[in-house]
A and B are shown apart, each in its own frame.
Chain A
Amino acid sequence: MTKEEIIEKIKSSGLCGRGGAGYPTGKKWEEIYKKNPKEIYICVNGSEGEPGTKKDGFILEHYLKELIEGIKTTYYLFPQTKKIYLYLRKDYFEKYKEKVELLKDNLPLEVFREPGGYLCGENTVLVNSIEGKRFEPRRKPPYLSEVGLFEKPTIVNNVETFYRIYQIVNGIYENKRFYTIGGTAKNPGVFDLPVEMTIKKVLEATKNPINEDQFVQLGGGASGIFYTFDEISSQSANFGTGVILVYNKTTSLTEIFKEKLEFLIKENCGKCTPCREGLYFLYKLVKNNKLLDPSLEKQITDVIENLVVSSFCGLGSGAGTAFKSLWTKRKKIWQ
């Protein structure tokens, strides 16, 4: 297959990045391919920091060969690649480094141990962390595809995206994605299912049906959107990292906020006010059990909205979107 044919195939497959942001992969790669820069870098993002998500680990465990083949295809498309970084969170690194070394052949690939936590999964933070810089997001523009790792154009895609590239090139892509089911679900795990399904269908297909006393968070434990039982039958599950976390109403609003906030106040980069201080503001309220104080309702709504619209990067606005969805649906869920 010619390079042009491969890119055409990726484009017509409709594949979107599986790291959470969902940008069309074919379009992204074609732009770089046409510009044909002298040197580029490729980063395979296996940070998998979004709480609840386990699909990248699943791929590494079961489809490592296929993943490497997908990376090889990319290298074939971009022979000017100076280096490929397989960027793995610490436990994945320990587990799979040696296996990857055996499989990589003559790929200029380095298995890179993620030096930080949740933050490092954000593409620009990932690039900074490889360069040894502080873990904080970069300003955009310039985009990584223009000025990325070591100031060279850089492709950053999720582990699953490369796995799907392997499938596309070999004609076995069936427009599927991995769903991780977790939380209080009866049958948790990682499942390979069609991209366009409602949450309800995914839950049923994986033997995890839920009832009126339950609700879900879709897309990630930190930045996923909450849906009530009534919503899941019409809501597409194709969002974020494809994780569906099931919750029971016996867990209170405050408990959920607390769990998320304890994680986020430590794991945000500290750069921007809405995220660093906004999250802390909410955390303090939760800690003092004041989340449901009616006199604070407006203020809480404002701080959450501010997090959504005025954060520096996607992690902040993602967290905001998560809180906003639960906050606006709280009365419906807990009556």
Chain B
Amino acid sequence: MDKKKKNMAVIEIDGKKIEVKEGENLLQFLLKNKFPIPHLCYHSDYEPAEACRLCLVEVDGRIKTSCGVKIKDGMKIITNSEKIKKLKIINLRLIAQSKLRKQNREKFNFDKIIEFDMSKCIDCSLCIRSCPVSAIAFDGYGVDQKVAPTKNPCIDCGQCLAHCPASAIDTDQNEFQWIVENIKTKKIKIAQVAPSIRSSLGEMFGYSHEKMTGEKVVAALKALGFNYVFDTSFGADVTTFEEAKELIKRLKSKERLPMFTSCCSAWINYLKFYQPELLPLLTSVLPPEIIAGNLIKHYFSKKIGVLPKDIYVVSIMPCTAKKSEVRRKELIVDGIYPVDDVLTTVELGNLLKQQKIDFVNLKEINFDNPLGEATGAGVIFGVTGGVMTAALRTAYYLLSGKKPSDLYFQKEITSLEGVKIFNLKLLGKNLRIAIIDGLKNFYQIKDKLSEFDYIEVMACPGGCIAGGGQPKPVNDLIRQKRRQVLLRIDEQKTIKTSHDNPFLKEVYNQFLTDEKTVHKYCHLKH
């Protein structure tokens, strides 16, 4: 063999010599190379727990959990000895048998949004490791150990749900049944679809991650009986336009800086429960889904000659926290909630399966108008960094009167990084920016907020494409693929700046004609 490359290790797996990067996680390497290693408590998003003891291998003659081993040069690994096989089966059997002991355990519930069935729990601790606010933790020891809520309020981000390997955590099923019933009985039903659904719903029906299925989602919702299906991205264009204006205003007056983005509902929940003193830093602009809801109920209703109260609006969201957002009393306009109910991607997928709707063979249908056409900027809201990119494109235009170059700032957001800090020259001014991917990373900049002008926080790593309502599994590779779908749409769209959306102009000409109206429907009342 040639001289070893730097940072590379030569190891032996089941008698075969393999060259591999030194320090790589052994389990991850084995899985990548199609070794059938069972595992329940490991997830590449988190530090290994080494708890389930299923991913056992022999490393230099010693039995170890491969998830806890970092690859070193010269390691001899055996994955398939009789002894290893036997131990794995024993542990798997023990986990299965533990269900008997747990069968009478109760369910508990977070805000009637997230439901935890303790009888299904296998003590893997992934939910605990995924929770950015430690709202759940182990309680008790040994045979009495349970996963239980802590004193910390849940922010409904749903990362626990997205990482539970035992389906012990799900969205609240009573709530789900209630929505299903409403869809059956309500007369005028309108759905709006978040941007990131189009990169993920198809996964539940065998489509690859890269496959774009936006028009199929519309067709599926129509098959469920929705009269109109709109694009939440249109709301995102309005949000962008308003947020860019507010940013410029606040930068000029130097008031309430840094400005926080507000489209992530789990982020807002976090601020409400944990750092209420920072709430005034949020942009006053409402999230896209809420603006879209307002426009459906108070603008579109007039077009079809219906009273706002007679319209039932369901949002299809990649997010569990959106379920809490739509209940916020301060969002009521003229006695009416902007959105009535929220279905997550997974809930919609399950409903389609229940109703035996043949998703794969549905004929694609375009979104309805006028709230169905979005720009590239509106679509990239689904990935971390998207909101900010969109707002900066429009801010650039508003300040200079010039069109920003095609994919203005898009390259800044295409990497998956926990904390992105950079300075942007915006017409001679230096804009200090932070993009936080995953709420846990906010803690890194929590104490130096004054160093920034504009901060975007997305509670779920990757953004909405990997939200708590999205199909499982999720990991960095899948995040990257779903992300590419949205970024590709942005690249392909002729119009990439929200303020250039022709339907947006129409709405501003016909409905949002003065400041007062804009504030009523697009801003939070303070």
Count residues of chain A with CB under 8 A from any CB of chain B.
29
Jot down 19 A-B pairs with beta carbons below 8 A, ordered by A. Answer: A265-B143, A266-B144, A267-B141, A267-B142, A269-B141, A271-B49, A271-B125, A272-B52, A273-B53, A273-B54, A273-B94, A276-B98, A276-B145, A303-B90, A306-B94, A309-B87, A310-B63, A310-B87, A312-B50
Give every chain A residue within 8 A of B49 (Cβ-Cβ): 271
Which residues of A does B touch, CB under 8 Å?
Answer: 119, 134-135, 139, 264-274, 276-281, 283, 302-303, 306, 309-312
Proximity bits, B19-51, A CB within 8 Å = 1, else 0: 000000000000000000000000000001111
B7 interface hit (Cβ, 8 Å): no
Indicate if the CB atoms of B141 and A306 lie closer than 8 Å.
no
For the complex, what is the distance from the CA of A135 to the CA of B51, rounded to whole Å?
Answer: 14
Interface of chain A: mostly helix, strand, loop or mixed? helix
Residues of B within 8 A of A134 (CB): 137-138
Are B143 and A266 in contact, CB atoms less than 8 angstroms apart? yes
With a cutoff of 8 Å between Cβ atoms, the chain A residues found around residue B48 in the complex are 139
Chain B residues packing against A (C-beta within 8 Å)? 48-54, 56, 63, 68, 86-87, 90-91, 94-95, 97-98, 101, 123, 125, 137-138, 140-145
A278 to B98, CA, bound (A): 10
Query: Which residues of B are found within 8 Å of A270, using beta-carbon distances?
Result: 123, 138, 140-145
CB distance from B104 to the nearest CB of A (A): 15
Residues of A near B50 (CB, < 8 A) are 139, 272, 312
Asked if B51 contacts A273 (CB within 8 A), the reply is yes
A274 touches B53 (CB 8 A): yes
Does B142 contact A135, Cβ atoms closer than 8 Å? no
**Is chain B's binding surface mostly helix, strand, loop or mixed?**
mixed
* Chain A residues with CB under 8 A of B97: 277, 281
Report chain B residues within 8 Å CB of A306.
Answer: 87, 90-91, 94
Q: A277–B95 contact, CB under 8 A?
A: yes
> Are B91 and A268 in contact, with the CB atoms below 8 A?
no
CB contact between A265 and one of B68, B95, B123, B142 (< 8 Å): that residue: B142
Q: Which residues of B contact A311 (CB under 8 A)?
A: 53
Contact of B94 among A265, A268, A281, A309 (CB under 8 A): A281
B90 touching A264, Cβ below 8 Å? no
Chain A, residue nearest B94 (CB): A277
Total A-B residue contacts, Cβ distance less than 8 Å = 87
- What residue in chain B is nearest A316 (Cβ atoms)? B53
**Cα A281 to Cα B98 with chains together (Å):** 9
Q: A134-B137, A135-B141, A266-B143 are in contact. Are A280 and B101 (CB under 8 A)?
A: yes
Q: How far is the CA of A310 from the CA of B56 in the complex (A)?
A: 8
Please, which residues of chain A bring their CB within 8 A of the CB of B52?
A: 272-273
Interchain CA distance A253-B87 in the complex, whole Å: 25
A117 to B90, CA, bound (A): 28
Residues of B near A273 (CB, < 8 A) are: 51-54, 91, 94-95
A270-B141, A310-B63 in contact; A139/B94 too (CB < 8 A)?
Answer: no
Q: Report B-chain residues with C-beta under 8 Å of the C-beta of A135.
A: 141
Q: How far is the CB of A262 from chain B (nearest CB, A)?
A: 10
Q: Nearest B residue to A141 by beta-carbon distance?
A: B70
Q: Is the CB of A312 within 8 A of B51?
A: yes
CB contacts (< 8 Å) of B145 on chain A: these are 270, 276
Q: Out of A139, A271, A280, A302, name the residue touching B143 (CB < 8 Å).
A: A280
Residues on the A chain within 8 Å of B51, using CB: 271-273, 312
Which of B53, B54, B123, B142 is within 8 Å of A264, CB to CB?
B142
Please report the C-alpha to C-alpha distance between residue A277 and residue B125 in the assembled complex, in whole angstroms: 15
The 10 A-B pairs at the shortest CB distance, nearest first, are namely: A270-B145, A277-B94, A265-B143, A268-B142, A306-B90, A273-B91, A310-B53, A273-B53, A266-B142, A277-B98
Q: Which residues of A contact B91 (CB under 8 A)?
A: 273-274, 277, 306, 310
Given contacts A270-B141, A270-B143, A274-B53, 6 further A-B contacts (CB under 8 A): A272-B53, A273-B52, A273-B94, A273-B95, A310-B91, A312-B53
Most buried by B among A277, A278, A312: A277
**Residue contact A276 to B123, C-beta cutoff 8 Å:** yes
The smallest C-beta distance from B84 to any residue of chain A, in angstroms, reads 10
- The smallest beta-carbon distance between B103 and chain A, in angstroms, is 14
Instruction: For A265, list chain B residues within 8 Å (CB).
Output: 142-143
Complex CA gap A302/B137 in Å reads 31
CA distance A220 to B48 in the complex (A): 31
Contacts of B56 in A (CB 8 A): 310
CB distance from B97 to the nearest CB of A (A): 7
In the bound complex, CA of A139 to CA of B46 (Å): 14
Q: Which B residues touch A277, using CB under 8 A? A: 91, 94-95, 97-98
A276 touches B143 (CB 8 A): yes
